[in-house]
Amino acid sequence: MLVFHFAHEHPSVRSFQSLCGNREEDHKWWFVEDHVRPEATDGDPDVVVVHRMKTPTPEWVSLFPGVPVIWVAWGDDYYRAFPGLLERVYSERTRRLAFFLGKVSITWPRLGMWMMNGGHNGNRNPSHWAGRVKMVSTLLGSGFPALEFLPPGVLVLHSWYNAFDYERFGSLKVRHDAHSIILGNSGGLSGNHLDGMAMLRGAVGPEQDVRAVLAYGSKRARLSIRLLGWTQFGQQWNPLLKRMPGPQYLKWMTESFALVLPQWRSQSAGTLFLSLWIGHRIFLHSRNPLFSVLKEKGFKVFDIEQLGEAGTLTPLAESEIEYNRNLLKLKFNNEAIHASLDDAFDGIRNGLK
């Protein structure tokens, strides 16, 4: 079987490429950053795998008409591919902040749909590739937000990323004296930080501090979140403003016992997995598809609405940390990815066109 992969550079993609090198199929890769257009030198592929539906990979799909497509969906490409999903990203507080910052496409999502989709209806399928998708590899399972925009009967596959690197992070664990709470994972408005602040305000103890990750993202949003956090928490507001080397960042992560993610959309699953492994008590918004997925798989994660309940903002027990760790090892490993690949390619061989 000949498999063509269209991808953008990313460590997760390179790890998956290495994994595919141990399989019996013939895997050929094209990375956008190499500026080389895909071509069939030994015949058309049996299947095309697209690792991010972002220019120019959707256009590359059209080079091989009739070949089934497997979409390995990221945490952002489906929101960009289908602007109709924008209404499910920003809270009312975030929309008001966006208006103040001059980001009217966020304040009025339908305007944002129009701007992102060339004036077309935000729910319209990109005709040159959406109808070709036969399978989707996603962490979100049946909760994948873009399924409604794809053809009927699209198969949902186990995530082909997120095989956690247990050896690299083996002994990494939250410190016993950790007293910090991490709010959000970037300085972008999709993080809905203001909602997190409102929920944390009455829950944070006097000896705890709040750490927002503001090392990257929109400059205007980062500045606004930084100032608003200071007005809410005063000396307990301790945002991360600069990027850190990897080992230093991991140490910084272990100094916190909780992670609060107010976003409504799925993003930064890698950070979420790392937090599960470290042993953070994780609070997710119930609208975030990752919340339902992790709960269904048995992980101990919590609804962000529980922050208002007495005694909830406390470290996980050691038994709960080990429970989440063992579940990560069981659910997200290379063996599970290989099994999913076997199912996918068997379906192609059996005539899924």
Measure Cα distances from 349 to 2, 47, 343, 352 in Å: 11, 10, 10, 7
Residue 125 confidence (pLDDT): 56
Residue 38 has pLDDT above 50, yes or no: yes
Measure Cα distances from 293 to 90, 143, 166, 263, 298 in Å: 20, 8, 21, 15, 9
In this structure, the answer to whether residues 343 and 269 fall within a common structural domain is no
Residue 231 has pLDDT above 50, yes or no: yes
Rama region for 11: left / alpha / beta (φ>0; ψ in -120 to 50; rest): alpha
User: Do residues 267 and 185 make contact, with C-beta atoms less than 8 angstroms apart?
Assistant: yes
In this structure, the answer to whether residues 147 and 237 fall within a common structural domain is no
Residue 119: DSSP 8-state: T
Pick from 98-112, 146-160, 204-218, 312-326: least confident: 98-112
In this structure, the answer to whether residues 240 and 279 fall within a common structural domain is yes
CATH of the domain at 133: 3.40.50
Residue 283 forms part of a structural domain: yes
Residue 76 has pLDDT above 60, yes or no: yes
In this structure, the answer to whether residues 324 and 344 fall within a common structural domain is no
In this structure, the answer to whether residues 232 and 319 fall within a common structural domain is yes
Average pLDDT over residues 253-281: 92
Residue 111 forms part of a structural domain: no
Rama region for 128: left / alpha / beta (φ>0; ψ in -120 to 50; rest): alpha
Range of the domain at 134: 2-82+125-163+334-349
In this structure, the answer to whether residues 238 and 282 fall within a common structural domain is yes
Using 50, 70 and 90 to split pLDDT, how confident is the model at 282?
A: very high
CATH of the domain at 237: 3.40.50.2000
In this structure, the answer to whether residues 145 and 232 fall within a common structural domain is no
pTM of the model: 0.88
In this structure, the answer to whether residues 232 and 264 fall within a common structural domain is yes
Using 50, 70 and 90 to split pLDDT, how confident is the model at 43?
A: confident
How many alpha carbons lie under 13 Å from residue 277 in its C-beta half-sphere? 24
The per-residue pLDDT of the chain, averaged, comes to 88
In this structure, the answer to whether residues 144 and 192 fall within a common structural domain is no
In this structure, the answer to whether residues 152 and 205 fall within a common structural domain is no
Residue 102 forms part of a structural domain: no
Residue 270 forms part of a structural domain: yes
Residue 344 forms part of a structural domain: yes
In this structure, the answer to whether residues 247 and 282 fall within a common structural domain is yes
Residue 36 confidence (pLDDT): 93
7 versus 105: the higher-pLDDT residue is: 7
From the centroid of its chain, how far is CA 311? 29
Give the C-alpha separation, 211 to 325, whole Å: 24
Average pLDDT over residues 213-230: 90
Number of domains making up the chain: 2
Residue 76 forms part of a structural domain: yes
Residue 294 forms part of a structural domain: yes
Residues 153-207 pLDDT 10s: 999 999 998 777 777 888 899 999 999 999 998 888 989 999 999 999 889 989 9
In this structure, the answer to whether residues 7 and 154 fall within a common structural domain is yes
Portion of the chain with pLDDT greater than 70, in percent: 93
Residue 115 forms part of a structural domain: no
